[in-house]
């Protein structure tokens, strides 16, 4: 059973966050191991597996990027594993330039500005995905998701850089 079906939601890029929570809570009420205290071991084991699958589904669908990657996989678009070198020269260029900018950013304000820019890019790229999914343009979906994944990683790097600058300033 796929994650969408498990939570009784339509397999779509956009989902209602409230509906996701509601479905997740309702299913956990049925399957959480706390509901099976004192029951037969087989029933408890089954509940544990169901509850774990629900948590996996919830976690995957809650985050827009992981949801998009998952939906793409359902449609047969496979992405290379994390940590592989980027195979798109354009993206490689963008990544190298951005990283250089981040490296040179010496103040929290500068890092924040970069992070805000990346967040905007992320939002825009996410918004653009809907059209690609509608057209079922698999190569374009793959390309866009790889870029999104890079942007997400970059946002994380920016956060790390920011906290580093913060502690250094705090110490001096």
Partner 1 sequence: MSLLEIHEPGETPLPHAGEGSLAVGIDLGTTNSVVAIAREGKPAALHDETGKALVPSVVAYPASGGVLVGDEARALMAQQPRNVIASVKRLMGRGAADLHTVAGVLPYEVEPGTGQTDMVKLRIGGKARSPVEISAEILKALKTRAEAALEKPVERAVITVPAYFDDAARTATRDAARVAGLEVLRLVNEPTAAALAYGLDKGSEGLYAVYDLGGGTFDFSLLRLEKGVFQVLATGGDTALGGDDFDRAIAERMLDERKTDGLGDTVDEGAVKNALALARHMKEQLSDREQTSGRLELGGVPSFHALARPEFDALIAAHVKRTIDIARRVLDDAEMKVDEVHGVVLVGGSTRVPLVRAAVADMIGTAPLTDIDPDEVVALGAALQAEALTSSSGGGSDTLLLDVTPLSLGLETMGGIVEKIVPRNTPIPVQLAQDFTTYQDGQNAMAIHVVQGEREMVDDCRSLARFELTGIPPMTAGAARIRVTFAVDADGLLTVSAEEKTTGTAQRVEVKPSYGLSHDDMADMLYDSLDHAEEDMMRRLLTEARVEAKRNLLALAAALAKDGNLLSAEERTALDDARARVEQAAAGEDRDAINAAAQALETLSKPFAERRMDRGIREALAGVAVSDLESRVGE
* Interface residues toward partner 1, by CB under 8 A: 21, 25, 28-29, 32-35, 37-38, 48-49, 51-53, 55-56, 58-59, 83-85, 89, 92, 96, 99, 156-157, 159-161, 163-164, 167
Whichever of 2 and 136 has its CB closer to partner 1, that residue is: 2
Closest contact distance (angstroms) between CB of 41 and partner 1 is 13
CB of 162 to partner 1, least distance (A): 9
Q: For residues 28 and 110, which CB has a smaller minimum distance to partner 1 in the complex?
A: 28
| Shortest distance in whole angstroms from residue 77 CB to partner 1 | 18
Q: What kind and span of H or E run contains 23?
A: helix 17-31
3-state DSSP assignment of residue 86: coil
Q: Is the dihedral of CA 150, 102, 159, 17 positive or negative?
A: negative
Of 77 and 132, which has the nearer Cβ to partner 1?
A: 77
Judged by beta carbon, residue 60 or residue 137, the one nearer partner 1 is 60
Residue 51 or 148: the one with the smaller Cβ distance to partner 1 is 51
What helix, strand, coil percent values describe the chain, rounded to 5? 80, 0, 20
CB of 132 to partner 1, least distance (A): 26
For residue 72, give the nearest of 139, 122, 124 by alpha carbon: 139
Residue 96 CB neighbour total at 10 angstroms: 11
What minimum distance in Å lies between the beta carbon of 13 and partner 1? 20
* Max CA pair span of the chain: 61
130-164 burial: b if 16+ Cβ within 10 Å, else e: eebbeeeeeebbbbbbbbbbbbbebbebbeebbee
């Amino acid at each position: 059973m796929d994650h969408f079906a498990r939570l009784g939601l339509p397999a779509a890029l956009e989902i209602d966050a409230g509906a996701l929570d509601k479905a997740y809570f309702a299913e956990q009420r049925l399957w959480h191991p706390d509901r099976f205290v004192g029951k037969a071991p087989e029933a408890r084991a089954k509940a544990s597996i169901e509850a774990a699958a629900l948590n996996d589904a919830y976690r995957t669908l809650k985050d827009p990027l992981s949801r998009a990657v998952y939906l793409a996989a359902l449609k047969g678009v496979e992405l290379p594993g994390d940590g592989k070198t980027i195979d798109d020269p354009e993206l490689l260029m963008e990544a190298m330039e951005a990283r250089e900018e981040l490296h040179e950013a010496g103040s929290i304000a500068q890092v924040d500005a970069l992070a805000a820019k990346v967040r905007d890019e992320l939002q825009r790229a996410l918004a653009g995905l809907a059209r690609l999914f509608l057209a079922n343009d698999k190569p374009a979906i793959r390309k866009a998701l790889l870029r999104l994944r890079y942007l997400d990683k970059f946002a994380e790097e920016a956060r790390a850089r920011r906290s580093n600058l913060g502690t250094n300033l705090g110490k001096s």
